[in-house]
């Protein structure tokens, strides 16, 4: 890729970085992508809008198979602190998970295939709402996906911990099963001086957090892995009033579907115990749930072998990261890989600043890979 073309997709990434939006609210992002796509030769493309996402087919010369690339679009509800000249223009929103990279790379590969067509079709899925409430599942349930269903599919995710020029993946389980967790407790408030006349939901919430620790240590096979994290607790209004209500917000992550079921079963039993013990009412909401990302064994190994001639390839361990791309590889053979971007700050950090040199690495790798696959089909 020449320097001018490389800078073009870096510039696109910076444009997208400035307009992060919530899931299913990616209106500016969708418009930006559509404006770019409409400048490309129309005879090579078919474009279909789906909610705030986009399906794009790059037509092959003599298609025998269809390959797919998924790029997620949404940002995160957090304030950017990078002080970059192209920082987020949307207060309280940031591309802190690299979706701006994923889209810019997708456009780069798409453009390369438009001007240097391969034999087969390639479908690009610009998917909304990966961070929540989850866009992959409804996207693959759409009529458009049924019409353009790929034979194989691939996605990537930036990895701050790996250097530029490196990718990491593995056959089999890559990312965990995940579920959000919201618990609302309602008791009886009262004056701090008369605790015997109230049911304190701050104490009840504290008991819940403590008891949840036993679920992982005593109810999950130690050779398996699971995590319950309560990241936020709210309750009460002022220091001298006993809280009538409390809310816990967290996440569950497991490396097997069976363990996810077992964790939820134990959570529900413990919450019932809290209801009885504190004479209160409780409601559980599991929010968004993501299926594990299970990389197709043969396709992943084939890709790793191919990529080894282009970049440094690391066989990594499975991670407790959640990704709704899992729903796609549950339906279509495929895989995901980590793309090294060498940032001192990790994913979902307010100062995440990935190295933009990785954009060219990914575009070149995926363009070559789709060409290789088309020649082999």
Q: Which helix (H) or strand (E) holds 285?
A: strand 281-285
- What's the alpha-carbon Rg for the chain, to the nearest Å? 23
Q: Compute the Cα dihedral for 159, 163, 165, 166 and give only its sign.
A: negative
CA distance 267 to 255: 17
**Catalytic (active site) residue 80:** no
> How far is residue 3's CA from residue 356's CA, in Å, rounded to a whole number?
13
- Of the candidates 21, 72, 74, 244, the residue annotated as catalytic is 72
Distance CA 54, CA 265 (A): 38
Active-site residue, selected from the candidate residues 74, 80, 121, 131: 131
The full DSSP string for 167-208 is EEE-SEEEE-EEEEEEEEEE-B-EETT-GGGSB-HHHHHHHH
**What residues have CB less than 8 Å from 3, skipping those under 6 apart?**
none
CA dihedral 133, 349, 8, 135 (to 10 degrees): -10
Q: DSSP letter string over 213-253?
A: HHHHHHHS-TTS-EEEEEEEEEE-SSTTEE-SEEEEEEEEE
Instruction: Mark whether 244 is an active-site residue.
Output: no
Run of H or E including 286: none
Beta carbons within 8 Å of 141's beta carbon, 6+ residues apart: none
- How many angstroms separate the CA atoms of 251 and 212, rounded? 12
Classify each residue of 58-89 as buried b or exposed e, where b means 16 or more C-beta atoms within 10 Å of its C-beta: bebeebebbbbbbbbbbbbebebebeeeeebe
Provide the β-strand partners of residue 242. Answer: 190
| Residue numbers annotated as active site | 72, 131
């Amino acid at each position: 890729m020449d320097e001018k073309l490389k800078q073009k997709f870096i510039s696109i990434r910076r444009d997208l970085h400035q307009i992060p939006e919530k899931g299913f609210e990616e209106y500016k992002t969708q418009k930006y992508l559509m404006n770019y796509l409409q400048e490309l030769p129309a005879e090579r493309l078919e474009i279909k809008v789906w909610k705030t996402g986009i399906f794009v087919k790059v037509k092959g010369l003599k298609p025998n198979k269809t390959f797919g690339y998924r790029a997620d679009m949404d940002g995160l509800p957090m304030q950017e602190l990078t002080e970059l000249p192209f920082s987020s223009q949307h207060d309280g929103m940031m591309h802190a998970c690299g979706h701006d990279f994923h889209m810019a790379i997708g456009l780069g590969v798409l453009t390369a295939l438009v001007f240097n067509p391969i034999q087969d079709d390639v479908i690009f899925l610009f998917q909304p709402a990966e961070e929540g409430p989850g866009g992959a599942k409804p996207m693959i349930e759409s009529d458009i996906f049924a019409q353009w269903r790929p034979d194989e599919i691939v996605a990537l995710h930036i990895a701050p911990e790996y250097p530029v020029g490196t990718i990491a993946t593995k056959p089999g389980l890559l990312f965990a099963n995940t579920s959000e967790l919201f618990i609302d407790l309602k008791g009886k408030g009262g004056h701090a001086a008369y605790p015997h006349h109230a049911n304190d939901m701050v104490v009840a919430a504290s008991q819940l957090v403590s008891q949840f620790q036993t679920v992982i240590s005593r109810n999950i096979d130690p050779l398996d892995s699971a995590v319950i994290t309560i990241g936020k607790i709210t309750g009460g209004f002022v220091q001298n009033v006993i809280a009538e209500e409390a809310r816990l917000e967290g996440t569950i992550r497991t490396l097997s579907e069976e363990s996810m079921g077992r964790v939820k079963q134990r959570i529900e039993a413990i919450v019932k115990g809290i209801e009885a013990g504190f004479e209160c009412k409780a409601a559980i909401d599991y929010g968004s749930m993501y299926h594990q990302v299970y990389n197709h064994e043969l396709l992943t190994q084939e890709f790793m072998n191919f990529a080894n001639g282009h970049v440094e390839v690391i066989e990594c361990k499975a991670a407790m990261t959640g990704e709704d791309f899992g729903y796609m590889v549950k339906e279509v053979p495929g895989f995901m890989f980590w793309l090294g971007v060498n940032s001192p700050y990790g994913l979902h950090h307010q100062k995440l600043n990935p190295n933009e040199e990785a954009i060219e690495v990914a575009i070149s790798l995926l363009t070559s890979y789709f060409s290789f696959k088309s020649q082999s089909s």
